[in-house]
Amino acid sequence: MTSPSTQGDREKVVSKLPSWLRQELKVRTAQLRIDIQDAVEAGIAAWCGLASAPASVDTSGADSFSTWLPVGQWEGFKADCKTRGVSLTQGLGQAVQLWLDKHPAPEVRRPSVVRRIIVCNQKGGVGKTAITAGTGEALAEDDRTLYPVQTARALAVLSADAAAGEREELPGPGLRVLLVDFDPQGHLTKQLGQQPLAMGEDSLTAHMAGEGKGPIRDLVVPIEDERFGDRLHLLPACTDAFLLDVRLSTVRAREGALERALAPLEEDYDVILIDCPPSLGLSMDAAVFYGRRRDGEEPGASGALIVVQAEDSSADAYDLLTRQITDLRDDLGLDIDYLGIVVNLYDGRRGYIATSSLQAWIDIRDPRVVAVIGDLKEQKEAVRLKRPLLSYAPRCDQAVALRALAREIS
């Protein structure tokens, strides 16, 4: 049911609609950011303006549907239904279908340049892998299905539950996403139920060293889940990534090694997320270079997403990482954007250390905190079961917050 508009006088009306048509109306209005009551009003006005009633719609199984319409419109609509010899339910179904036909679903907004997001922090254990996976999953969700999204980040004022906020049902972005496990520990690969590539086989490391044995596309595997369609893929880790910095030391223009390796894949995706290792070595230089702003690319489309925890050691690691990024900016003359800070695994019940640290992150301002993700059991359960979190627990607080994060940096 919709709420009454504040503009003009409206009255509540009750009728019936079949569930399939009501759901399609709900999704389409969410896609177009239009209130349901305005869509129904426009559909009825268009229906009444036709010279004759359009084709019948299947109203079997119709159940109660209510909305708010301008005073007098519903009485006029009922009179037109009687004149045309159709039931009120059939007339309303035709009007809603007419509006849907005149307002097709928008096309998925695809970037002109593939977006490259490097998820990083020199400190291990902050949850970079969970943020990489969850953000990628959120970006790949179906654009014809509604999902709960946190719409109020509640970051301006510190509270005991900084991750809380209102929820809204919104369609998924429907983007084509590649997750790249750039960490030799292979946590992203294992969490998503895949196996790391064996030592000595073809791998991202081999391609970065200029020793690829075949097309890198052959190494990519799909994350098979109906909510992601065929839009979410993974480039698995390889145990030989422990040797990457050594191998890169002999490569010319080594900062561009990751970009050269992934270039053949870029046309297949809208977003590529890199799960970076907890390192400040040559591999991290290559990741930061890959996330730089390219010619013709909008500021903030690509860049570094920094994952931290609300505790002191994350602040030390943050300083080291930002210093490395600044050095690359200065040495190579690059535009490297910060996409924001994610405070992960937050639990305000841990007291002053957690709450004061969170406030310290919020006070940074540039880059700003773009999400606070709670430390809850569903993520750990999904890891144990080797399933994507947004598939395992799509309505849990973490999933809702990750969808908000994905939209915040889009």
Has residue 163 got a pLDDT over 70? no
**Is 159 a residue whose pLDDT tops 60?**
no
Contacts of 256 (CB under 8 A, 6+ apart): 286, 289
- Which residue ranges make up each domain of the chain? 10-102, 115-408
What per-residue confidence (pLDDT) applies to 152?
57
Mean pLDDT of the chain: 90
* Percent over 90 (pLDDT), the chain: 70
**Residue 407: its pLDDT value, please?**
93
Q: Is the pLDDT of residue 161 over 70?
A: no
Provide the terminal-to-terminal Cα distance of the chain, rounded to the nearest Å: 30
Distance CA 400, CA 382 (A): 15
pLDDT, average across residues 156-174: 67
Which of 93-102, 151-160, 253-262, 279-288 has the least mean pLDDT? 151-160
At the second CATH level, the architecture of 10-102 is: Orthogonal Bundle (1.10)
Q: What confidence score (pLDDT) does residue 1 get? A: 40
**pTM (two decimals):** 0.89
Pairing, β 303-308 against β 146-150: unpaired
What mean pLDDT do residues 235-249 have?
A: 81
Contact predicate 279/324, CB 8 Å: no
Q: How confident is the model at residue 165 (pLDDT cuts 50, 70, 90)?
A: low
Is 27 buried (19+), middle (13-18) or exposed (0-12) by CB count in 10 A? buried
Q: What per-residue confidence (pLDDT) applies to 164? A: 54
Give the torsion sign (CA, 221, 226, 230, 232). Answer: negative
162-183 as b/e: b if 16+ CB within 10 A: bbbbebbebbbbbbbbbbbbbb
Q: What is the pLDDT of residue 365?
A: 87
pLDDT (0 to 100) of residue 162: 45
Query: What mean pLDDT do residues 135-162 have?
Result: 74
How far apart CA 75 and CA 73 sit, in angstroms, is: 6
Angle, CA 242 vertex, CA 218 and CA 266 arms, to 5° = 35
Residues 56-111 pLDDT 10s: 999 999 999 999 999 999 999 999 999 999 999 999 999 999 999 999 999 998 99
Give the confidence band of 306 by pLDDT, cuts at 50, 70, 90. Answer: very high
Predicted pLDDT of residue 198: 86
Least confident of 164-168, 271-275, 315-319: 164-168
Residue-wise pLDDT tens digits, 330-386: 999 999 999 999 999 998 888 888 889 899 999 998 999 999 999 989 999 999 999
Query: Can you tell me the distance from the alpha carbon of 164 to that of 357, in angstroms, rounded to the nearest whole number?
Result: 18
pLDDT band for 8, please (50, 70, 90 cuts): low
Whether the predicted pLDDT of 310 surpasses 80: yes
Q: Is the pLDDT of residue 154 over 80?
A: no
The reply to whether 115-408 shares the fold of 10-102 is no
Q: Specify the higher pLDDT residue, 5 or 406.
A: 406
Per CATH, is 115-408 categorized as 3.30.830.10?
no
Give 332 or 247, the one with higher predicted confidence.
332
- The candidate with the shortest Cα–Cα distance to 130, out of 141, 117, 119, 114, is 119
Element housing 2 (H / E): none
